[in-house]
Structure 1
Amino acid sequence: MTKSKRMHWKIMFKMTRVSAAVLAVLGGISASSVLAQQQQLERVEVTGSSVRRIDAESALPVMVLKREDIERSGATSTVDLLRRVTSVQGATGEASSVGGATFGFSGVSVHNIGETRTLVLLNGHRLSLFGGQTLTGFAAGFDLNAIPVSAIERVEVLTDGASALYGADAIAGVVNFITKRDLSKGDLSVGISKPDGGAEEKRFSISKGFGNVAADGYNLMLAYAHDERTQLLSSARSYGKTGLIQFEHAGKRYQFKQFSQSPIPANATNDAGLLFSPYLKANGSCPEKTFRITDAGGDYCGYDFVGDLEIYPERKRDSAFASFTKRLGEHELFADLLWSKTEQTSRIAPVPGNITIAAGSALHDKYLKPWGVTGDSTAAYRLFDMGKRTNNDTAKFFDLSLGVRGAFAGWDYNAGFTHSKSDVAGVTSGYPGAMAVGRLRASGLLDPFVGPGKQSAEAMKAIAGTNYVGYWDGGVSKLTTAELRGSRELLQLPAGPMLLGVGVNLSKEDFASKPSLFAQGLLSDPVAGTIATKPEDRDQRFGDASAKGPYSAGRKLRGGFAELVIPVVKGFELGTAIRYDRFSDFGGTTTFKESFRWTPTSNLLIRGSLGSGYHAPTVSQINSPLQAYGVTSDKYDCSDPNAPQLAAMAKSLGVLCHPGSKQYDQLAGGNPELKPEKSRQATLGVRFEPTKSVTLGADLWWVGITDAFGQLPEQLVFGNPQAYASSWGKQTDVGTGKTYLAFKADNRNLGKAYHSGIDLDFATRMKLAFGDWNSQFTATYMIREDQQQLKDGPYNSAIGDYSKALGVVTFRVTGRWTNTLKAGPWTHTLGINFKSGFKDQEKTVEVLDASGKVTGKETIRLDVGYYATADWQTGYELNKSFVFTGGVLNLFDKNPPLSISTSGANRGQPFGYDPRYYDPRGRTVYLNGTYKF
């Protein structure tokens, strides 16, 4: 991959006249060198500009991944592909669905500035946001799973934001997927990928084109792709199979325990409100799949839920793409249609929850009274015999683009209509109603103090009868747009033509949240679907309360822009653009972009830009009602003497603290007072070509954001409860009737944020005696990342440091070095991927002596080392029809580095490494075969 400013070639121009220039530019030859060789080139569109022009390099930095780059990367999806782009980091990945309500969403974030601030385009037009977006703004981006990698001709990543052409909300940058088109040949591909122990993939794709626009006046291209992947169990990975980890740090031996306080058999509270395990009391040790926990909350058994996870979910995808182009003189009619369906299944440990054990009951007298418990008790129990909690998520995507383009009265124009829709539905199983479990306990059938499989046959049948299997939640997002763009030469100046680009657009955005009646808390019998006639009969999920209401909202947008490219003197030009957008719910805003491009010599380019941006909150962030929003990612203990404010906050609200160390319920909702984010962006870059076979480039970038919206991180609020009094609420457990302290993750304008860094690239090529060698290196170095969590509050950074305030890590350096040797029919590629290290989340751990005995506790921070992997691929072209490719990803089977972090934004439940940043599949062998016809 190389840096280039070239954007998509329009089909209406003859590709044969410009293909040599394109290949030369992408291979490392300067724009001026190309112009010297090509007397006359057709005009093209440039990323971040509405003006068609000849020059390949312009004022804004764009990275282009060509089709051969995609094939040589070994990536089997757009998610995997963009992971290899060094300027991309911090996006949600597939592992986040393991224990997280993501519906399988995978996004893209340029420079870790945010996937909601990174604009994704398909063939230059905007797409609807994900239908599974949440009321906090999470997943309010485009789901990469919707675009099949087999249909992509190239990907262009603009690492400067707020394009006047596409909209002012592209603060972090733009990712534009360009699909194959105007092809008359056919392509049939099959492939398999096989990691060790799971996550095996099988894939198939076929495409065929008919007609040629230049020769026949039309082209029709059809494509279909299908792939399947099996699950990967946490037990298949030594570093991720258990929540009990022993390790060395700074010359000492430690252990850390990641657990749930709800095991099987159950823990229970004593008269002092502390947890204890009747099983541990009776047997002197904890049962299978648990380990002993002694803390301020009691002496009990913690459940090792990590071993039950499937850390890479099972997935199946289908997609179809059709493109039709018809030439009518100087004009072209075009139509593109994309449909995709992704089905993902993720499984986690059986559901935990609380059950009331009344004093004097048979269970109380049998299991609790012998250990001195005289009053009512709460059992922390895991309903193991119901089986794992399973989410079956389906995300359907549809995109239709219709239009006409051509030349008229001296203008190059493009008029289009687009409509896209993301429809997401989640089906669950393994979740009973809390009241239903309470009725089982009251009937005497359910015994929470016996082990797995020890219930009576009648009880097992009754447990199965309370299992809710069906639709749980989902949503639909739509975007409809009509737009007209045009460009022309305005007038001839001594240094060249002044170019003008203009455009207008009308858009309508809609979103509907569609929770089931069970998710709304409206059923008295979830399995039977019986609607409750009285509020007190409304059941909710056992251990995971939810009473979220449906809502729908939308907005309309009108926009217009104008752009000028002005050649001042030979080799130096200025660009200026202004855009006006008017939102139906936020009013009007004006943004701008200024840029320059200077070529003092034929092999040196200096460029820069300054612009502004405007990002309105999603309709969900504004309009959704306050409702239950899952649980905190980390566990907290009100009994901890080091955290007395937590108990004081619960007392001030007249609610209870959970006993022991436990995740707390979360609340979230829309905020009508939320203000849009505003930004400033700037870049300064240089490209130098000392020879025709060597290219070097560097782009310094800076982004400043005011009124950044988000939620206060839970660690920040739990660490100082009194300082964030407005971030607390309460939630009633319908199973026990007790009301507990809850964390309110509401939408806020948090303050300012500043990001800066340098994107570097180097490319060289040479002819050797045994073949042609190409070497490409790209890297991103993060200079600054300062973000406020309160207006006028202190700044926090996550560069090389797990930030308690931000809940994420930003890697100081990411890099990729790719070397390709082509010798006859053989093509060999070696890729090296690199991430720098970071300081892990601060954790209190147990100190071990030489015999493994716990001698005390310490608070430490691990140093998570740098991470480098190697990918190898060999391709063989048997003839013009058959191509075979084999390779190995993570050639040396490098395990992710040890991390004992347990919380953070979109982390999911895997433990022992951070699944947001490292791929657990390990060494993966793959084989692809392609037949061209």
Structure 2
Amino acid sequence: MSTRTKICSAAMIAVGGALAVGSVRAQPQLERVEITGSAIRRIDAESALPVQILKKEDIARTGATSVTDLLQRLTYVQGSFNESAGVGGGAGGITTVSLHNLGDTRTLVLLNGHRMAQFGGQTLTGFAAAMDLNALPVAAIERIEILTDGASALYGADAIAGVVNFITRRNTDEGDVSVGLSFPRGGAREKRVSATKGFGSLEKDGFNVMLSLSHDERTRLDSVKRDFGNSAEVRFSHGGKNYRVQQVTAAAIPANAYHDNGTPADDSDDYLFNPYYVANGRCPDKTFLVSDFGDYCAFNFVGELEVYPARKRSSVLGSVNFKVGDQTPYVDWLYSESTMNSRIAPVPGTISIPAGSALHNTYLLPNGVVGDSEAYYRIFDLGNRTYEDKAKFFDFSAGSRGLLMGWDYNAFYAHSESKSVQNIAGLPGALAVSRVANSGLLDPFVGPGQQSPAGMAALNSINYKGYWDGGISKLDSVGVRASSELMTLPAGPLMLGAGVGFQRESFASRPSLYAQGRLADPVAGTLCDPSAPPGDPLECDQRFGDAAQSIPYTSSRNSYSAFGELIVPAAKGLEFITSLRHDRYDDFGKATTAKAGFQWRPNREVMVRGSVGTGFRAPTVPQIKAPRQNYGVTFDDYTCTPELQAIATSLGATCRPGPSQYDVIAAGNTELKPEKSRQRSVGIRFEPGRDVSLGADLWYVRVKNTIGQLTEQEVFANPDLYANSWTTRTETGTGNVYVAFLADNKNLGTDSLTGLDIDATGRMRLPFASLTSRVALTYMIREQRQLTPTGRKYSAIGGGDEALGVVTFRWLGSWANTFQHGNWAHTFTANFRSGYLDSTSTVEELDASGNPTGNYEDIRLPVKRHVTLDWQTQWNPRKDFVVTVGLLNVFDTKPPLSISSGGGNRGQQFGYDDRYYSSVGRTAYVNASYKF
């Protein structure tokens, strides 16, 4: 009779008692299972590689309502992308997972052991070239296996950071229905429902069918509901002084204007000003005064944000399994849809104001502006810019597993595809805006709601609403894996695993005609004439304030793989594992990678393990083959330095006036080299008794030829050093030629990271309950990253070097305590992360009354460590019914103050860093589940 092992005390709970990990004692006649990270089906036991296992019941104890919420709470997860950071319209609604801050593109996500298509909304820079976690329904997950050691011979040498394998429910005739609600303050409220039912038994009936349905919805959360993130002007104290820092955008309502200081031919003393401020002695509502490059009024765009977007998700998952002798043919499928709506401040942009025009004579000439000028305007009356991101995901796999001629095997075919669609509103064409302004119907110097009826009608007539951009990613794979005992050695069986596979991946970029810049009238859909002269009705229009000329393209590639793995029992308690993998790409040649490890058990209480290996990751298809195109604007505002002005002049362009965002141009690169990695790990587990378990794994990863882009902070700080990172862009609507940042794909250099994962578990019996206490920590020891192959080495640990634009936390940890008594279980979990140094920001000193002094300083603000407490209570009045209530972030701890504005993969929020902290705050939730 087969019996599974009992997971003993080596367990790590990352949040709310979730992560059952670890040391599993082998006993006679145990069921063989395939462990993530190994090709060989063997006794379900601790292996030479660190594999963390989260079971369904453990997931429920976290209070996490999605796969994303769950994974982002784990201590060894850093560098993931979340929905909040996507606010701003460029992320397509994706959420990802990154292990050990090595990146989501290096973290392989699997479903039942097979690969899935990358996100259909990925970009040519490699952003979002990962699996979208929104496609995976948490209700259908039986367990999650996480291999925190990379470059798996079984699943792929490109899994440099590790593997996250989602195992869905199967072979069950049980059913359950679950409902849940979450109640944060002010928004982001959720409701969810799921149902699962299985039919038949493989052993009794020879078949099993399982179907799972789930749906959830979340409301939006506006920035005005959070006092720590509702303004682009932040006041704070540091070092005994009071300061303010401003995130400036010159486009405002009423508009700011460019002042030529009465000398149109000489721009050395030009500045910005606001006619409303001059006339009224104060800035209008929704703006604040900026005294830099003149006195003008900056728009508080942060106050218009939705810091957490509204979302709807639905999924259906099915599994059919048959029993035919020793064979189990199967068919699995998953279909999911998600829709995310995010809204940000009304569109900003520049409008030309010719000398002698009615607007010039009314607002500018009386203020001393002699020549042509520009209005920096926020089209507030069109409403907020709205991005509706729809993602559809489909995964199908069919195959057979079982025992054949003494070999455990799994042969399969899988097809997976991800389709991304983005619809927009509130983003008119730049030429369309210019025409309305030139007609005299649009007045950029009046406040919200003060346009004439004719002006409003004209604005509404140019407001584009519809499809903007999208893409589709597909993956077809065929594979065969098998393992067997070759012979019995004195210390145990010699085991061999092997397999072969084929993959075809393709990607199609599908921008709209508007996104391609091929329309003369975006609303009417009128095609333009690229040769039409300026002012012609068929001149090609682009998006106001954020021009784009995306180029559609389709590309694909094939790859082949073969691998072998051998487990050799060398002596009692000591075994070695070796594996070899060969990959061949039709566009990148071939690569052979290897891995070797050991496991030593000197006694029942101690286990020591270690591994070394190599990895290989080819660039994504878009990173290689995408043509050069506009790629939005910089995160930060930058002031033109003499060095940047010299580069602009050499290119026949000019700098943008004042602190401004600059255009970004990106392109694929056919000369990219693949990334190559080396990894090492060593670990120990110690179990002095059934109720105590301790473990630690020390790991090291080195990635050569890293693929990415130079950070804008580094390039703008050193424009001469990166002279090849500049180009030009002609602004649609004004015809001005500005210098632009060229963020092309490059092989940057070498990344090296070293860290330590620690866990400890203890159990004890109290007079009134049993207590289980679990601690999990990840400590980042060392980090070195290069921006160029021969350049200096940077570290982002604790904020570290600002050139990287990201943060690597020194410590991430959790401490969970569960009290179990009768039908009740109470869990209290503390989650903590270390502080860091913020990026350098220029701040203005305030006097004792809070008034600006005009004195500016550059400071690096310490961002405080962050600790939150979660509470949950589960009540099981009967075996088939469970009610769970809880509070996440019990004390409503706010995100720590951060005054930097830029950084990779960051949203538009200000006052805190949305990449690392949630704005949701204290959240009450209730879940109920009934089994039948």
Which band: TM-score by shorter chain?
over 0.9
Q: Deviations over 1:333-385 (max 9, x none)?
A: 11111111010000000000000000001100000001111110011101110
Counterpart position of 2:52: 63
Amino acid at match of 1:72: R
Cα offset, 1:29, TM superposition: 11
Match of 1:424 among 413, 420, 423: 420
Counterpart position of 2:536: none
Match of 2:296 among 293, 296, 300: 300
Q: Does 1:21 find its partner at 2:6?
A: yes
Task: Write out aligned runs for 1:258-277 (5 A).
Answer: 258-271=247-260, 272=267, 273-277=270-274
Assess if the C-alpha contact under 8 Å between 2:475 and 2:503 holds in 1: yes
Cα offset, 1:43, TM superposition: 1.6
For the structure 1 residues 165 and 439, does the alpha-carbon distance in structure 2 shift closer, same or farther, using more than 3 Å as the test? same
Provide the C-alpha distance between the structure 2 equivalents of 1:380 and 1:803, rounded to a whole number of angstroms. Answer: 34
Provide the C-alpha distance between the structure 2 equivalents of 1:31 and 1:839, rounded to a whole number of angstroms. Answer: 35
Which ranges in structure 2 are unaligned for 5 or more consecutive residues? Answer: 13-18, 261-266, 533-538
Counterpart position of 1:50: 39
Cα offset, 1:718, TM superposition: 0.4
Tell me the secondary structure at the aligned position of residue 528 of structure 1: coil
Cα offset, 1:45, TM superposition: 1.3
Q: CA RMSD in A?
A: 1.4
Cα offset, 1:828, TM superposition: 0.8
Assess if the C-alpha contact under 8 Å between 2:194 and 2:212 holds in 1: yes
Tell me the secondary structure at the aligned position of residue 17 of structure 1: coil
Cα offset, 1:41, TM superposition: 1.1
Task: Write out aligned runs for 1:531-680 (5 A).
Answer: 531-536=527-532, 537-638=539-640, 643-680=641-678
Match of 1:400 among 396, 402, 411: 396
Cα offset, 1:33, TM superposition: 7.5
Q: Deviations over 1:321-343 (max 9, x none)?
A: 00111000000011111111010
Which ranges in structure 1 are unaligned for 5 or more consecutive residues? Answer: 1-15
For the structure 1 residues 30 and 719, does the alpha-carbon distance in structure 2 shift closer, same or farther, using more than 3 Å as the test? closer
Match of 1:110 among 99, 106, 115: 99
Q: Does 1:700 find its partner at 2:691?
A: no
Assess if the C-alpha contact under 8 Å between 2:423 and 2:466 holds in 1: yes
Provide the C-alpha distance between the structure 2 equivalents of 1:923 and 1:395, rounded to a whole number of angstroms. Answer: 29
Cα offset, 1:623, TM superposition: 0.2
Provide the C-alpha distance between the structure 2 equivalents of 1:270 and 1:29, rounded to a whole number of angstroms. Answer: 65
Provide the C-alpha distance between the structure 2 equivalents of 1:373 and 1:807, rounded to a whole number of angstroms. Answer: 39
Amino acid at match of 1:18: T
Q: Does 1:207 find its partner at 2:196?
A: yes
Assess if the C-alpha contact under 8 Å between 2:21 and 2:52 holds in 1: no
For the structure 1 residues 33 and 729, does the alpha-carbon distance in structure 2 shift closer, same or farther, using more than 3 Å as the test? closer
Q: TM-score, normalised by structure 1?
A: 0.96
Q: Does 1:223 find its partner at 2:212?
A: yes
Match of 1:365 among 343, 361, 364: 361
Q: Does 1:926 find its partner at 2:920?
A: no
Counterpart position of 2:684: 686
Q: Does 1:119 find its partner at 2:108?
A: yes
Counterpart position of 1:743: 741
Cα offset, 1:65, TM superposition: 1.1
Cα offset, 1:696, TM superposition: 0.3
Cα offset, 1:392, TM superposition: 0.3
Assess if the C-alpha contact under 8 Å between 1:32 and 1:602 holds in 2: no
Cα offset, 1:156, TM superposition: 1.2
Q: Does 1:902 find its partner at 2:901?
A: yes
Amino acid at match of 2:143: R
Q: Deviations over 1:495-522 (max 9, x none)?
A: 1111000000011000000000000000
Q: Does 1:466 find its partner at 2:468?
A: no
Counterpart position of 2:221: 232
Counterpart position of 2:806: 808
Task: Write out aligned runs for 1:689-768 (5 A).
Answer: 689-768=687-766
Assess if the C-alpha contact under 8 Å between 2:664 and 2:742 holds in 1: yes
Q: Deviations over 1:679-711 (max 9, x none)?
A: 000100000001111110000000001101100
Cα offset, 1:453, TM superposition: 0.6
Provide the C-alpha distance between the structure 2 equivalents of 1:802 and 1:899, rounded to a whole number of angstroms. Answer: 15
Counterpart position of 1:178: 167
Tell me the secondary structure at the aligned position of residue 645 of structure 1: helix
Tell me the secondary structure at the aligned position of residue 454 of structure 2: helix
Task: Write out aligned runs for 1:78-157 (5 A).
Answer: 78-157=67-146
Tell me the secondary structure at the aligned position of residue 548 of structure 1: coil
Identical aligned residues as a percent: 56
Provide the C-alpha distance between the structure 1 equivalents of 2:427 and 2:697, rounded to a whole number of angstroms. Answer: 51
Task: Write out aligned runs for 1:281-320 (5 A).
Answer: 281-295=278-292, 297-320=293-316
Tell me the secondary structure at the aligned position of residue 751 of structure 2: strand
Cα offset, 1:473, TM superposition: 0.2
Counterpart position of 1:342: 338
Assess if the C-alpha contact under 8 Å between 1:559 and 1:581 holds in 2: yes
Q: Does 1:34 find its partner at 2:25?
A: yes
Cα offset, 1:31, TM superposition: 8.7
Assess if the C-alpha contact under 8 Å between 2:7 and 2:22 holds in 1: no
For the structure 1 residues 304 and 165, does the alpha-carbon distance in structure 2 shift closer, same or farther, using more than 3 Å as the test? same
For the structure 1 residues 584 and 33, does the alpha-carbon distance in structure 2 shift closer, same or farther, using more than 3 Å as the test? closer
Cα offset, 1:827, TM superposition: 1.1
Tell me the secondary structure at the aligned position of residue 367 of structure 1: helix
Counterpart position of 1:867: 866
Range with bigger deviation, 795-804 or 346-355: 795-804
Q: Does 1:827 find its partner at 2:812?
A: no
Assess if the C-alpha contact under 8 Å between 1:94 and 1:104 holds in 2: yes
Provide the C-alpha distance between the structure 1 equivalents of 2:142 and 2:320, rounded to a whole number of angstroms. Answer: 16
Tell me the secondary structure at the aligned position of residue 662 of structure 1: coil
Provide the C-alpha distance between the structure 2 equivalents of 1:603 and 1:217, rounded to a whole number of angstroms. Answer: 42
Counterpart position of 2:238: 249
Assess if the C-alpha contact under 8 Å between 1:30 and 1:603 holds in 2: no
Q: Deviations over 1:733-767 (max 9, x none)?
A: 11111111110111000011100100000112223
Assess if the C-alpha contact under 8 Å between 1:29 and 1:693 holds in 2: no
Cα offset, 1:426, TM superposition: 0.1
Provide the C-alpha distance between the structure 1 equivalents of 2:800 and 2:172, rounded to a whole number of angstroms. Answer: 48
Cα offset, 1:930, TM superposition: 0.9
Provide the C-alpha distance between the structure 1 equivalents of 2:31 and 2:683, rounded to a whole number of angstroms. Answer: 26
Task: Write out aligned runs for 1:376-525 (5 A).
Answer: 376-525=372-521
Assess if the C-alpha contact under 8 Å between 1:578 and 1:593 holds in 2: yes
Q: TM-score, normalised by structure 2?
A: 0.96
Provide the C-alpha distance between the structure 1 equivalents of 2:323 and 2:239, rounded to a whole number of angstroms. Answer: 70
Amino acid at match of 2:543: R
For the structure 1 residues 657 and 749, does the alpha-carbon distance in structure 2 shift closer, same or farther, using more than 3 Å as the test? same
Cα offset, 1:788, TM superposition: 0.3
Amino acid at match of 2:927: N
How many aligned residue pairs are there? 911
Cα offset, 1:644, TM superposition: 1.6
Cα offset, 1:866, TM superposition: 0.6
Assess if the C-alpha contact under 8 Å between 2:11 and 2:759 holds in 1: no
Assess if the C-alpha contact under 8 Å between 1:836 and 1:866 holds in 2: yes
Provide the C-alpha distance between the structure 2 equivalents of 1:460 and 1:176, rounded to a whole number of angstroms. Answer: 53
Cα offset, 1:881, TM superposition: 2.4
Provide the C-alpha distance between the structure 2 equivalents of 1:762 and 1:21, rounded to a whole number of angstroms. Answer: 18
Amino acid at match of 1:527: V
Cα offset, 1:649, TM superposition: 1.3
Range with bigger deviation, 71-80 or 52-61: 52-61
Assess if the C-alpha contact under 8 Å between 2:20 and 2:52 holds in 1: no
Cα offset, 1:543, TM superposition: 0.3
Amino acid at match of 2:599: R
Q: Deviations over 1:809-848 (max 9, x none)?
A: 0100000111111211111111110100000010010001
Assess if the C-alpha contact under 8 Å between 1:29 and 1:689 holds in 2: no
For the structure 1 residues 21 and 266, does the alpha-carbon distance in structure 2 shift closer, same or farther, using more than 3 Å as the test? same
Assess if the C-alpha contact under 8 Å between 2:515 and 2:550 holds in 1: yes
Cα offset, 1:23, TM superposition: 6.6
Q: Deviations over 1:240-262 (max 9, x none)?
A: 01111110101111111112100
Provide the C-alpha distance between the structure 1 equivalents of 2:393 and 2:570, rounded to a whole number of angstroms. Answer: 46
Range with bigger deviation, 608-617 or 847-856: 847-856
Assess if the C-alpha contact under 8 Å between 1:129 and 1:478 holds in 2: yes
Counterpart position of 2:264: none
Provide the C-alpha distance between the structure 2 equivalents of 1:601 and 1:136, rounded to a whole number of angstroms. Answer: 51
